[in-house]
Copies of this chain bind each other. A is one copy, B any other.
């Protein structure tokens, strides 16, 4: 039950249509919370019924009409309540880890290729985050208030991606060494 809140946060920063929110969940906000447009529309509808957002129909020329949502006082109150509420630890889900654990039953070189692909994708995302850091927050020491908070969220992305990339590298090194044909001796078995 947090998509509601992610949408409220996003709408607090800028009043938007469902379409617009969906696009933003494909990039900026999507880096730390994700959702499809279908779900966004459904949740917006529910939030409207609960009175957390106020829809305003906007007629447009040359493109479809849209509904722009604004956060109501009730919505803002809900956000404040939710922020103070203790949050559960997110359960960790490492699919690559599950695969790795059973790797010896299957095709280890294929898995190695997969790990490399993940490394590349996470490294790419890390580059993106670092570019944002450089561009949007050149002097982090001087930051305060909301701008500081935004910066810290980005730092979370950087830290997590760094951890994943480093782990992928470690796995790639280890699997490569373990899969490679032994040069001198062949007493070291690879199958336990």
Q: A residues bordering B, Cβ < 8 Å?
A: 2, 5-6, 8-9, 12, 30-34, 76, 79-80, 82-84, 86-87, 89-107, 110-111, 114, 117-118, 121-122, 143-150, 152-153, 155-157, 159-160, 162-164, 166-167, 170-171, 174-175, 178, 188-192
Given A101-B9, A159-B166, CB of A188 within 8 Å of CB of B83: no
Beyond contacts A92-B160, A144-B192, A155-B167: 16 other A-B pairs, Cβ-Cβ < 8 A, are A2-B98, A32-B94, A79-B105, A83-B99, A84-B106, A87-B95, A89-B118, A89-B122, A94-B153, A97-B157, A104-B146, A143-B178, A145-B191, A147-B192, A152-B174, A159-B163
| Given A83-B107, A160-B167, A32:B92 Cβ within 8 A | yes
A155 to chain B, nearest CB (A): 6
A152 in contact with B100 (CB, 8 Å): yes
A149 CA / B105 CA spacing, docked (Å): 11
Question: Which residues of the partner chain B approach A155 to less than 8 Å between Cβ atoms?
Answer: 167, 170-171
* Contact A160 to B156, CB < 8 A, known contacts A80-B107, A105-B76, A111-B83: no
Q: How far is the CB of A55 from chain B (nearest CB, A)?
A: 21
Are A34 and B91 neighbours in the complex by a CB distance under 8 Å?
A: yes
Distance in angstroms from A41 CB to nearest chain B CB is 19
Closest to A154 in B: B97
How far, in angstroms, from A90 to B94 measured CA to CA in the complex? 8
In the assembled complex, how far is the CB of residue A153 from the closest CB belonging to chain B, in whole angstroms? 4
Chain B residues with Cβ below 8 Å from A90 are 93-95
CB distance from A183 to the nearest CB of B (A): 15
